[in-house]
Amino acid sequence: MRYILLLIASAALCLPSFGQNLNQQIDEKAQAIENQVVDWRRDIHQHPELSNREFKTAEKIAEHLKSLGIEMTTGVAHTGVVGVLKGGQPGPVVALRADMDALPVTERVDIPFASKAVAEYNGEEVGVMHACGHDTHVAILMGVAQVLSDMRDDLPGTVKFIFQPAEEGAPEGEEGGAELMVEEGALKNPDVDTIFGLHINSKTKVNTIGYRPEGTMAGVDNLEIKVKGAQTHGAYPWAGVDPIVTASQIVMGLQTIVSRNLEIIKAPAVVTIGKIDGGVRSNIIPEEVTMIGTIRSLDPEMQDKIHQRIREIATNIGESAGAEVEVNIKKGYPVTYNDPELTAQMVGTLQDVAGKDNVFLRYPVTGAEDFSFFAQEVPGFFFFLGGMPADISPEEAAPHHTPDFFIDDSGLTLGVRALSQLTVDYMNQYKPEMGK
């Protein structure tokens, strides 16, 4: 009997573990569909659609999931698609998210699959471009769906594929995005235990991955300030109250919030006025000026402090000038927060996939992401995938949301492998208390 047990133990040492076997399958299957993923990405890039108008993109996704035998729901939060892949063994529910929408930007990049699309945006005809890389996110998640569906009998858990519309914000007068998907139950039935997401980055070298625990992308608030003065002839400014001069003083005053009121070694923050509107003629001091801007913060307490100081500075400057000031702050996306325990648990997977030297801790980003609404509901991990060609520098690479934005899609397979292996490794390491 002892001899038989020793033989069994020796044999077990020679066999790959269950997790290792699945990871090997992932690598092989991801490499096999590399060209297909690139083709999907280029087709989606060539045919972009604006927020809440991703009809053809959603149709393409739905057809693909249907061909894989994945249960799905369409029309979630207008055009979203949610697929459910049930594994052959019991385990946790892991959600994977990709955003689908493009931007009102006219493409300037000279590539065979450049967008020529035009559409209406807020009453204007605009060019449409995937100037933030959401086309790559969709193609990657379609690839992940194919890889994991081929392995479904061996999966110890369930995968939810969330294809989300309107990450860039719903059109005026509409709801949308991750917040609406959450409201409509995208994380329910079955209930999600954790969620993973990625974002391509045009200034990060291809085939590398950046991540950060806790606050990784900023919360964003929209700011509107109305300054009401008293209209008068431009030749007689003493006869009225000049809201333009008052607004100018407010703009300068707001810039002291970050530089003088915040503990900026704790977390970065930004207060920006992006538009000032007032007046119709050179010789008329108008009655009212409206300013709009954005607030970015990575710490909730600092966010509250910024709001307080904006109100104090604007209203006090207005009072000193004899003007009335109205401040409206509308909260937008929360801080994109990476659960620290989940992040620590899964970084090893990224290092295994990309190579330890190709995974790095990055600075926080003052851009915002509505993945944050999902990560408020369940533990989340959001990371950045390199898309910058290896032969250029970050200074040479065009930023996101610009006509020259470019992604080297030779790194998409790394995205497929990363999301697939995060899913499998989480399932294999799962304990019930982890997702609660």
Buried b (16+ CB within 10 A) or exposed e, 19-30: eeebbebbbebb
Q: Do 117 and 47 touch, CB atoms closer than 8 A? A: yes
Specify whether 150 is catalytic.
Answer: no
pTM over 0.85: yes
Strand partners, 273: 293
- Among 167, 168, 179, 193, the active-site one is 167
Q: What are the tokens at 414? A: 């790394």
Non-local CB neighbours of 52 within 8 Å, separated by 6+ positions: 78, 79, 101, 165, 166, 170, 171, 174, 176
| Distance between CA atoms of residues 72 and 66, nearest Å | 8
Say what the pLDDT of residue 285 is: 98
Q: Which of 134, 214, 213, 203 is nearest to 169 (CA)?
A: 134
Say what the pLDDT of residue 22 is: 86
Q: Which sequence spans correspond to the domains of the chain? A: 15-217+336-435, 219-331
Superfamily of domain 15-217+336-435: Zn peptidases (3.40.630.10)
Specify whether 101 is catalytic.
Answer: yes
Q: How far is CA 62 from the centre of its chain?
A: 22
Q: What are the tokens at 66? A: 């249907």
- The ranges of the chain with pLDDT < 50 are 1-18
| Distance between CA atoms of residues 292 and 276, nearest Å | 7
Q: What are the tokens at 38? A: 């690139």
Non-local CB neighbours of 364 within 8 Å, separated by 6+ positions: 212, 215, 216, 217, 218, 267, 268, 298
Q: Do 278 and 245 touch, CB atoms closer than 8 A? A: no
149-193 confidence digits (pLDDT tens): 999 999 999 999 999 999 999 998 999 999 999 999 999 999 999
* CATH for the 219-331 domain, from 3.30.70.360, 3.40.50.1860, 3.40.50.1000, 3.40.50.2300: 3.30.70.360
- Among 49, 99, 101, 299, the active-site one is 101
Non-local CB neighbours of 291 within 8 Å, separated by 6+ positions: 223, 224, 225, 226, 227, 247, 250, 251, 273, 275, 276, 277
Q: Which of 177, 179, 183, 180 is nearest to 165 (CA)?
A: 177
Q: What are the tokens at 87? A: 């594994």
